[in-house]
Structure 1
Amino acid sequence: MKRTAFLLVFGVVLSFCEAQTDTGGEEGGEEEHVELFTTPQTKMGAATSDFGYNLFRTLASRDSATNVFLAPISVSAALTQLSMGGSERAQRQLFRALRYHTLQDPQLHNTLKDLLTAVKAPGKGLSTAARIYLDRRLRLKQEFFALVEQQYGVRPKGLQGVARDMNEVNSWMSQQTGGKVQSLLTSSFPRNFGVSTVSAAYFKGKWVTRFGQSGAMENFQVDGGASVRVPMMQQDNYPVKMGADSDLSCVIAQIQMQNDVSMFVFLPDDVTSNMTLLEESLTAEFVQDLSMTLLPAQVTLTLPALKLSYSTDLQPLLSDLGLSEWLADTDLEKISALPAKLSSVHHKVVMETAPEGNQYPGAASTPSHLTYRVDRPFLYLIRDEVSGALLFIGRVVNPKTLTM
């Protein structure tokens, strides 16, 4: 396996090199393969992450000049619940898109349930919710309702496609996320809507190291336009792990959050909203490799103070994930004897960052001579370090347009 080595030259320059494993000094020798994911939970974390990266790339490709955010693990949870209602053929198709075909895990649902419990543990800052809604006219099979509830602790809900359904869905989502995700639906399901999944997530993690300065309005450069003024957090002598990738033309920083969560920030060298090459590089293996090869540094760190709310219907994207045939014939025989189609995959995320942390930066006689200033479009992800699961991913093109 190719390993990415990040060389940090303090006070001078950040440089990148790629090192290949020497297999005896002979040309043409095979590269050594290192298994990065060795337990059922880390393998599940890798699968849900790779599904998330694929989904993010598809969503981001709609328009390179927009902010985009996802909490992929909550979407995985919703679609996995739905898979329990399909025929064996339909389940195989959905599992391939969800990347479960790589797991060979006979206890797949138990593994996912344990992973969801782990990433939502107190202190990690994440709350998620996922549920299936179905048209009552489908002559629904109650065995499916009981099966999903027994496995995931949430019972699918039959609705009639009327105005009050919207309030019911929104109230449930708000309750499940501690009141942080409001108004997931902005209109009611249409009559004869078939099957719909809804998923939501709220994240507000705390840093290990706090920021001393917060809220100061500073310039953020926007591709093709004038700078915008946004609130920033800043701290000297901030501990990070760091490296530069010349192939991707970006500098990467890993910032530690509490309870084994971290944020990876990918900052392009130039002001650009086109991050296609960077987005294409993201895989569970690549990010795991980063976590092991980025080098410790102390920097003057400046980050935007993010407050965002983002919602979309992901159903139109599923064809690009290899599910065209499945969408045409979902074959949900365990849900209803009548034909049923997936009409929508509603998803909403809310996220905040704040300067708080549980420790102060280490004392130093002089400020950091390295700077990491996130003042132009960037990509970031939030990752659970124990399981490797991708919790949140976003592309920030213009933080001025973010809304809560």
Structure 2
Amino acid sequence: MKRQIRVWMKQTSLLLLLGAVLSFCRAQSQMDGEETGVDEEHVELFTTPTTKMAAATSDFGYNLFRVLASREASSNIFLAPISVSAVLTQLSLGTSESAERQLFRALRYHTLQDPALHTTLKDLLASVRTPGKGLSTAQRIYLARRLRLKQDFFTLVEQRYGVRPKALLGGSKDVKEINDWVSQETGGTVQRFLSKPLPRNAGVNAVSAAHFKGKWVIRLSQTGELGTFQVDGGTPVRIPIMQQDNYPVKMGADSDLGCMITQIQMQDDISMFIFLPDEVTTNMTLLEDSLTAEFVQDLSMTLLPAHVSLTMPVLKFSYSTNLLPLLGNAGFADWLQNTGLEKISAQPAVLSSVSHKVVMETAPEGNEYASATSPSGHLSYSVNRPFLFLIRDEVSGALLVIGRVTNPKDLAV
């Protein structure tokens, strides 16, 4: 049964003191004062091959993020799922038929019934990487030269995705080669992808990187003043903040998840969803477990508009990890037992690493300035404690970036 968020809204002005819990009330009659819950009719988004693919890559991303979150229970963590999906899908072109079925199941493709799956994914990638959306990605397979490589695999991947797998040279030469290529593909925004050489016995290596810097629909101001951010079990930290009065958002409160949910519009149909727990906590397991493509789509249909006095951290970070150790717990256990990479090499080929890096900036830039004639915002909304966020393409429903921020002071580029 589809899960619904409960949202309420008062007929009079919304009011929230800084740091207090947000509660929305459904429009009501002042004569009887009776509250009524919203029961929005679900509007199906995932009806075309591209939006179904977006849902699959998103659900894969939410699942992988949960595994990453459980491994690093109280840390800042970030992921660009669509980039990871893309590089593992490239890898599927080198697998046996049975291994491909297992890999597609883990990637959530098994329900798509899409005979042009690779074309659909390529089209989705192109649509979310249009310049105005602020996303750039890089995905490539790197292979050990010692393997007797099959050139048909190189040609097929290049035909499908416009990037040719590359044979490794060994040692520091590989570091420079990979770093230079990732930087070139992302317009110089993702630097130093690798800090050390790949494992000496490296066989098949999947590389994925992403950079996101979207612009707000309305510009935020950054005065240079520092704001206070509460941390779980520690002394509050002082961090750079962005703020704006009378800022239009969509909001709601979910009592089951114990959090406030806010959707902030960015340019070119990109949205940032912020999930702000009611308490200062890094334990967001219940919230993380609730995330699916369908749930987030429901949110976009159900949250209610409001004008707020908005304050949020300036986020600027890079995050790198090898995802290979996580894949077994993310649905890939059967495939990893026999990756079936027989179309890549005549010799047994082993997946050695799934290197991933995401870089993101939330600068105050926007397409327009806040209007002085906007409805007066009596509601204060401050992202001043650990939170979870996601960046979503509203046209396709694709999850672009997801992250958990427990302490912005620890973020590094």
Work out the CA distance in 2 between the residues paired with 1:8 and 1:126.
35
Which of 36-45 and 362-371 deviates more?
A: 362-371
Alignment partner of 1:6 is 2:7: yes
Aligned equivalent of 2:51: 42
Aligned with 2:61 (options 34, 52, 59): 52
Please state whether the residue corresponding to 1:291 is helix, strand or coil: helix
Alignment partner of 1:397 is 2:406: yes
Alignment partner of 1:139 is 2:142: no
Contact 2:3 2:295 in 1 (8 A): no
Moved over 4 A (4+): 16-21, 364-367
TM-superposed CA distance for 1:214, in Å, is 4.0
Aligned equivalent of 2:75: 66
**Aligned partner of 1:302: which letter?**
T
Work out the CA distance in 2 between the residues paired with 1:54 and 1:231.
31
Alignment partner of 1:255 is 2:258: no
TM-superposed CA distance for 1:211, in Å, is 1.1
TM-superposed CA distance for 1:190, in Å, is 2.7
Alignment partner of 1:316 is 2:300: no
**Aligned partner of 1:146: which letter?**
T
Alignment partner of 1:344 is 2:347: no
Alignment partner of 1:296 is 2:269: no
Correspondence list, 1:192-203, <5 A: 192-203=201-212
Contact 2:317 2:360 in 1 (8 A): yes
Aligned equivalent of 1:175: 184
Per-residue CA deviation, residues 274-305 of structure 1 (Å, 9 max, x unaligned), is 11100001000000000011000000000100
Per-residue CA deviation, residues 246-287 of structure 1 (Å, 9 max, x unaligned), is 001111110000001010000001100111100001000000
TM-superposed CA distance for 1:206, in Å, is 0.2
Note closer, same or farther for the CA distance 1:33–1:202 as it changes in structure 2 (3 Å cut): closer
Correspondence list, 1:168-317, <5 A: 168-317=177-326
Contact 2:8 2:38 in 1 (8 A): no
Note closer, same or farther for the CA distance 1:273–1:134 as it changes in structure 2 (3 Å cut): same
Gaps of 5+ in 1: 22-31
**Aligned partner of 1:377: which letter?**
P
TM-superposed CA distance for 1:6, in Å, is 2.0
TM-superposed CA distance for 1:325, in Å, is 2.5
TM-superposed CA distance for 1:5, in Å, is 4.3
Aligned equivalent of 1:103: 112
Please state whether the residue corresponding to 1:129 is helix, strand or coil: strand
Aligned with 1:153 (options 157, 162, 175): 162
Contact 1:160 1:191 in 2 (8 A): no
Please state whether the residue corresponding to 1:181 is helix, strand or coil: coil
Work out the CA distance in 1 between the residues paired with 2:129 and 2:229.
32
Please state whether the residue corresponding to 2:9 is helix, strand or coil: strand
Aligned equivalent of 1:24: none
Contact 2:6 2:253 in 1 (8 A): no
Per-residue CA deviation, residues 371-390 of structure 1 (Å, 9 max, x unaligned), is 11000000000000000000
Which of 139-148 and 188-197 deviates more?
A: 188-197
TM-superposed CA distance for 1:2, in Å, is 4.1
Which of 177-186 and 223-232 deviates more?
A: 177-186
Alignment partner of 1:331 is 2:333: no
Aligned equivalent of 2:368: 359
Which of 241-250 and 316-325 deviates more?
A: 316-325
Please state whether the residue corresponding to 1:136 is helix, strand or coil: coil
**Aligned partner of 2:341: which letter?**
L
TM-superposed CA distance for 1:11, in Å, is 2.4
Please state whether the residue corresponding to 1:137 is helix, strand or coil: coil
Higher strand share: 1
Aligned equivalent of 1:382: 391
Note closer, same or farther for the CA distance 1:299–1:20 as it changes in structure 2 (3 Å cut): closer
TM-superposed CA distance for 1:34, in Å, is 5.8
Contact 1:284 1:388 in 2 (8 A): yes
**Aligned partner of 1:270: which letter?**
E
- Number of positions where the alignment pairs a residue of Structure 1 with one of Structure 2: 394
Please state whether the residue corresponding to 1:244 is helix, strand or coil: strand
Contact 1:181 1:201 in 2 (8 A): yes
Work out the CA distance in 2 between the residues paired with 1:379 and 1:214.
25
Per-residue CA deviation, residues 323-377 of structure 1 (Å, 9 max, x unaligned), is 2232121111111111111111000011011111111223248852111100000
Alignment partner of 1:130 is 2:139: yes
Which of 391-400 and 351-360 deviates more?
A: 351-360
Note closer, same or farther for the CA distance 1:18–1:176 as it changes in structure 2 (3 Å cut): farther
Aligned equivalent of 1:162: 171
Work out the CA distance in 1 between the residues paired with 2:39 and 2:363.
40
Work out the CA distance in 1 between the residues paired with 2:207 and 2:350.
15
Contact 2:307 2:376 in 1 (8 A): no
Alignment partner of 1:91 is 2:94: no
Work out the CA distance in 2 between the residues paired with 1:325 and 1:49.
21
TM-superposed CA distance for 1:95, in Å, is 0.5
Q: Normalization by structure 2: what TM-score?
A: 0.92
Percent identity of equivalent pairs: 69
Contact 1:15 1:246 in 2 (8 A): no
Note closer, same or farther for the CA distance 1:362–1:91 as it changes in structure 2 (3 Å cut): same
Please state whether the residue corresponding to 1:296 is helix, strand or coil: strand
Alignment partner of 1:114 is 2:123: yes
